[in-house]
Amino acid sequence: MNAPRNAPRLAALADAPVDWRFKGLPASWAGRTPADIVGARVGLFDGDGPLGPVCVLSESAVAHNLATMARWCAERGVELAPHGKTHMAPQLLARQFEAGACAVTAATVSQVRVFRAFGFDRFVIANEVTDPAGLAWLAHELDADPGFGVVCWVDSVAGAELMTAALRRSGARRRLDVCVEVGMDGGRTGCRTTAEVDAVARAVVDSPRLRLVGVSGYEAATGQDVTQEAIDGVRAYLDGLRAAVLRLTAQFETDEVIVTAGGSTYFDHVADVLTGDWPTGSRVRTILRSGCYLTHDDGLYARTSPLSLRAALRVWGQVVSRPEPRLALVAMGRRDVSFDQGMPTPLGLPGGVVDKLNDQHAFVRLGPHDTPAVGAWLEFGISHPCTTFDKWQLIPVLDDDGIVVDLVRTFF
């Protein structure tokens, strides 16, 4: 288990006073530490309550999702390197490692640097690293710490050459582990043809600064539709990843070969296609990179996740105006909640629908029996946790009675 080696820095978050930087939290918490607030067993809405909209986590839902995903991965014979960009919260990442994660996935070197500061030392960078500054930093960390491990992507000969040149200039002694990324037509990054995959693999093997350790991809690069047609396309793409691993077997430069894919929608199909029946003697590690499973949601992943998970991330906002009979304006907007993968869902209003967001307001169209009063607090489910987390620096974790049991710090 990759427990953080800088445990004191992680523990110190409990002793950092709450102040004006952290929006939404009750004014009475100012100057108190998270440890003090948790120890006092206060409710979020005790006293005068929050200062405007506030984002919260459900402890029971987080615990359920951690246990459910860990059990599923063990049963399916896959490993999990959860995507840290979802929450950028070392406290939550520590819990993911306690539940069995093998590494943390990041999208950028800056994200690696954040988690590295808290002592995590096993990383997957789901991207081709092309900036010389980022490569120099990785080279320094690799040479300074034998326990630091990182794998990143490469999807072009030009990229392999650029990485090699930058690492040479940095004076790197350890080679950087890379996976050849297989892409899909109309998708994001990744080699589009078999010939490109093979050429990039050769360029990596020929590089004195890189080491070929596996094959990577992202099966949801063109969408997260769960129709049979879409699933057939996903499985065909995953068949291509599997074929690349088999075709490149003789070129891999480690005894353990990595094949990695898996967002938060199709990871069951990743496990189906990318486990079992590898050639005799091969040690293939199938690593998922799902990130949104931890908090799930009430929108995108409620519709598409293959597991029975619970929505753990919610945003509360207060009704500030009832200018029309079927309209409520809530003090919660684009600065507070995700909207890129669907609008927030008002909970407790059977006919309520959010049909528009301004920067600081939500337009809630009410059903005939919805009668929220001005001043009422409304709870909203969200769709796509990644773009809600990044709007909040300190998030209270509540038990099922609404008592604060932790405060989670994010570092975006």
pLDDT tens-digit profile of 121-177? 999 999 999 999 999 999 999 999 999 999 999 999 999 999 999 999 999 999 999
DSSP codes joined into one string, 255-274 = SEEEEEE--SSSHHHHHHHS
Whether the predicted model's global pTM rises above the 0.85 cut: yes
Instruction: Determine contact, residues 87/101, Cβ cutoff 8 Å.
Output: no
Q: Would you say residue 321 has pLDDT above 80?
A: yes
Q: Quick: pLDDT tens for 324-346.
A: 999 999 999 999 999 999 999 99
128 burial (CB, 10 Å; 0-12 / 13-18 / 19+) is buried
Q: How confident is the model at residue 6 (pLDDT cuts 50, 70, 90)?
A: low
Start-to-end CA distance of the chain, whole Å, equals 25
> pLDDT digits over 12-54, tens only?
999 999 999 999 999 999 999 999 999 999 999 999 999 999 9
Contact in structure between 296 and 305 (CB atoms under 8 Å)? yes
Question: By the 8 A CB rule, do 176 and 210 touch?
Answer: yes
Residues 211, 167: Cα–Cα separation, whole Å: 12
How many other C-beta atoms lie within 10 A of the C-beta of residue 255?
8
pLDDT score recorded for residue 353 = 98
Kindly list the structural domains of the chain, giving each domain's residue range(s) and its CATH number in brackets, ordered by start: 5-57+307-407 (2.40.37.20), 120-291 (3.20.20.10)
Integer Cα distance of 326 and 332 in angstroms: 18
Nearest to 169 by CA among 140, 147, 122, 136: 136
The C-alpha angle 274, 80, 224, rounded to 5 degrees, equals 65
Give, for 355, the enclosing helix (H) or strand (E). strand 353-357
Q: Distance between CA 88 and CA 92 in Å, rounded?
A: 8
The β-bridge relationship of strands 345-347 and 104-106 is: unpaired
The pLDDT of residue 322 is above 70:
yes
